[in-house]
Structure 1
Amino acid sequence: MKQPCMLVAALAVASAASFVSGGASAQSNISIYGVADAGVAYASNQNGNANTYLRSGSLSASKIGFEGAEALGGDLRALFLLESGFELDSGAQSASGALFNRQAYVGLQSRAYGAVTAGRQYTPYYLLVGSLASSNVLTGATGAHPGDIDGLDTTVRVNNALTYSSPVWRGVQGSAQYGFGEAAGGNAAGSSFSAAVKYSASPAEFALGYLRLRNGRDGTGWSANASGSFGISAINRGYASAESIQFIAASARYTMGKWMVGANASNVQYQAGSRSAFRDTAIFNTAGVISSYQLTPQWFLSAGYSDTRATSANGVSDRARYRQLSFEQHYALSKRTAIYLIEARQLAHGQTLGEGVGIVDAVASVGDSQNGTPSSNGRQTVLLVGLKHAF
């Protein structure tokens, strides 16, 4: 009961502060924003059965946020952001036990020298590379690479993070982040590091990024005390006890009038340690293409295809392969409200490592919407129709 009360209190404080700051000074401001998104989903196979259900955040995650900045004089300003995700179909928080589960940070920013922020944050890997990848064009629910294996959707967030982001210079921006493990006597355990660079020169954009997550010392799977978390699905569940995970990805886009075409590639390595339930480094390579077309001012169409292949490791000779095709049709009723249709199909072949059960047949898990409800076989189709309102 405490967390809903805290959220109501935060809303009241933010609203009052916004009123006071607006009347007292033109140099500072606080704003409230968010998204309410709900739709009807159909999955052809969830653990062996078809399912039709109401789903929150299929096009954009349902959330509420508080954002503020204050001019400190000269080129310097203070800033903060608090963002909480919620499930519109039930009213529950997206992550129990964390009020501002999506983002929570404070920092200083200069147009000339860049920004330094501290708190729970997205990684430079996601912000710069993921912004050009499939889930930013298609929804991550069905457009993210299978199981969000490469973290290019918003699954990866880092606690205890200190981030520097440079200003844009001749189209180039860079960013680096360190997530403290905060373990006495061994800060490396549970720590993380990410760096990325992005170049934008219309009509082309390119980005390259790196992310490394280290496991904590407690537990047999991925430690809840590690600074960084990641999406766990049937695709990588057998490697959740990794000592560390390394992500490398690149993405590019080219815009021609109403058309956009893009490509992306990633390499993810699950590295074994003394506590890991597997012995050999497991590698997943993904290649993908995306395209979109602004048919009319209201209609926006997009499509994407990805191919994910695992390497042979840990006794697996028939290595897993996942191919996914996704489509989205988006109709804007206004600047803030839209209806949408989403379709995706994934095929899985080969074998992978299961959690505590050895080698298993690979099963389909579309995007990151089915991470907890994979197919019982190598095929899964997901269809969605919904309504999104931004405020």
Structure 2
Amino acid sequence: MKKTVIAIAALGIPLTFAMSAFGQSSMSLSGVIDEGFDITNNTNPHGDPLYQFQSGYLQSNIITLGGVEDLGGGKKITFVIKTTFDVNSGRSAPGRSFIGLSDEKRGTVTVGRQYDSIIDYLAPTTANGNWGGWLLSHPMDNDNTDGSFLVNNAIKYASPEFAGFKFGGMYAFSNNTKFANDRLYSLGAQYLNGPLLVAAAYLQTNNPGAPNSGATPAGNASFTAARLRIFGAGVNYTIGSTTLGFVYSNTDVRDPVSSSYLSDPSGNPLPLEIAGVALNRLKFQNLEVNGMVQVTPFFFLGAQYVYTLVEGDASGASVKPRYHTVGLMADYMLSKRTDIYVQGAYEKVTGDRSGNVLDSAAIPGAGGISSTASQLAFRTGIRHRF
């Protein structure tokens, strides 16, 4: 059976079949391929432009194997195994993987490597978490609304829907004798009533980026720090073919060491500091306004503006740079499964100068940090779902 599944997957054929030995049990194979060509005007200390093929920007390239076993009485066992991959190099990496029990009246409990409540509940109200993807993320994806990290060792509960309202929560273990070291917990809720969508979420993780087997270890963290705390709320409202959104998120990073989004041309993390003094706190407040117009059933236009106030403190010294981000996108469906798109992002840093990397623009996915306070990136791509 294993060899058969792999062979079919290699041919790119959707797989859905029933396993008669388990009654109403079923398995499915699906995935997404997103590939595009990117142009960035300035990506290193010399101000050089960058032209590159990159995949998984609008949506992660992923292969998903899922299964359901019907236990009867509204109860089911579910599992999901996801593998991400890069179209251009063929490299693969682990994605989400979990198993759980669902009850149509009581909700679902899953355990494994999973999304947190920020992604599950708040992200769909943002442009990047809904239709825009990585290029339209908030600076450094500081609030994780684009899923820069997944959560290991996690047990998660998701409620059923009650008159449009649903909620959930997660606790992720450190897998360490020091119980609180690199653990994570999060909560979130959503309310959907006709054209109105309202969401809120909260997350805290201790010692993210630590070299251990915890919830957000090194290589699976947007910041290496003593603590990362995120909360936010968002609202979307649809009027005819137009959806408007407003989102506020607040990210508080204690004793930050580095960010996975800020590195030199060799890939070495750049220190977060003011005039050579390490930061003891880094705070982001993101205010986003977004809109999407479904021009025809096959074509939509999207736009986004994000104002991010950054506050950095280091032994009495403090700075408050401000990031202004504009994102635009057009998407056309060639079929029910395939679309082509173009998008662009512009970022400008104003306000206080810190004398370090926080003074430079760095659009997520742009391929490098600008040598100036501004950066411009364009992408054209194609996405196929199978």
**TM-score bracket relative to the smaller structure:** 0.7 to 0.9
Check conservation: 2:256, 2:282, Cα contact below 8 A.
no
Report the CA distance shift for 1:74/1:309 in structure 2 as closer, same or farther (over 3 A).
Answer: same
Unpaired runs of 5+ residues, structure 1, are 1-6, 96-100, 233-239
* 1:261 counterpart = 2:249: no
Equivalent position of 1:209 in the other structure: 201
Superposition pairs of residues 1-391 of structure 1, within 5 angstroms: 11=6, 21-24=18-21, 27-47=24-44, 48-93=47-92, 95=93, 101-184=94-177, 186-215=178-207, 222-228=210-216, 232=222, 240-272=223-255, 278=278, 280-314=280-314, 316-350=317-351, 359-360=356-357, 362-366=359-363, 368-370=364-366, 373-391=368-386
Change (3 A) 1:348 1:116: same
Following the alignment from structure 1 to structure 2, what is the Cα–Cα distance between the partners of residues 20 and 137? Answer: 30
Change (3 A) 1:389 1:207: same
Q: Give the CA deviation at 1:387.
A: 1.0
The question of whether the paired residues in 2 share the 8 Å contact of 1:147 and 1:231 is answered with no
Q: Flag the 1:118–1:323 CA change in 2: closer, same or farther, 3 A.
A: same
Aligned residue for 2:135, secondary structure, equals helix
| CA shift for structure 1 position 121 | 0.1
If the length of structure 2 is used for normalisation, what is the TM-score?
A: 0.86
Aligned equivalent of 2:267? none
Q: Choose between structure 1 and 2: higher strand proportion.
A: 2
1:333/1:14 CA distance change after superposition, 3 Å: closer
Pair 165,225 (structure 1): closer, same or farther in 2 beyond 3 Å: same
Residues 346 and 224 of structure 1: is their aligned pair in 2 closer, same or farther, counting only changes over 3 Å? Answer: farther
Q: Aligned letter for 1:298? A: F
In the TM superposition, what is the alpha-carbon distance from 1:222 to its structure 2 partner?
4.0
**Pair 183,231 (structure 1): closer, same or farther in 2 beyond 3 Å:** closer
Q: Is the CA contact (8 Å cut-off) linking 1:350 and 1:361 kept in structure 2?
A: no
Alignment partners' CA distance in 1, 2:152 and 2:37: 33
Give how far 1:286 is off. 0.7
Quick check: 2:22–2:69 contact (8 Å CA) kept in 1? no
Deviations 1:28-81 (A, max 9, x none): 111011011111110111112101111102222111111111101211100001
| Inter-partner Cα distance in structure 1 for 2:207 and 2:16 | 44
Q: Deviations over 1:115-169 (max 9, x none)?
A: 0000000002211111221213342222111221111111131000000111111
C-alpha distance in structure 2 between counterparts of 1:344 and 1:149, whole Å: 17
CA contact (8 A) 2:182 2:206 kept: yes
Q: 1:297 to 1:316 in 2, by over 3 A?
A: farther
Residues 349 and 363, structure 1, Cα contact 8 Å, conserved in 2: no
- Please tell me whether the aligned partners of residues 123 and 156 of structure 1 are also in contact (alpha carbons under 8 angstroms): no
Is the Cα–Cα contact under 8 Å of residues 323 and 348 in structure 1 kept in the other structure? yes
Question: Whole-Å Cα distance in 1 between the matches of residues 353 and 227 of structure 2?
Answer: 19
Rounded to whole Å, the distance in 2 between the matches of 1:8 and 1:324 is 47
- Counterpart of 2:56 in structure 1: which amino acid? G
| Greater shift in the superposed pair: 19-28 or 375-384 | 19-28
Q: CA 1:25–1:279 in 2, change beyond 3 Å: closer, same or farther?
A: closer
Deviation at 1:359, TM superposition (A): 4.1
Cα RMSD for the two superposed structures: 2.6
Q: Distance in 2 between matches of 1:202 and 1:19?
A: 32
| Cα distance in 1 for residues equivalent to 2:3 and 2:371 | 42
SS at match of 1:311: strand
Q: How many corresponding residue pairs? A: 358
- Asked whether the equivalents of residues 28 and 71 of structure 1 are also in contact (C-alpha less than 8 Å), the reply is yes
Shift of 1:225: 3.0
Q: Helix, strand or coil for the counterpart of 1:260?
A: strand
Following TM superposition, by how much is the alpha carbon of 1:375 offset from its aligned partner in structure 2, in angstroms?
1.2
Take 1:166 and 1:83, find their aligned partners in 2: how far apart are those partners?
23
Deviations 1:80-120 (A, max 9, x none): 01111111111112x4xxxxx22000000011000000000
In structure 2, the residue matched to 1:4 is none
> Which SS does the other structure have where 2:6 is aligned?
helix
Letter in 2 for 1:281: R
What is the TM-score normalised by the length of structure 1? 0.85
Q: Is the 8 A contact 1:191 1:226 kept in 2?
A: yes
Q: Cα deviations across residues 229-263 of structure 1 (Å, max 9, x unaligned)? A: 6664xxxxxxx442111001111100111000000
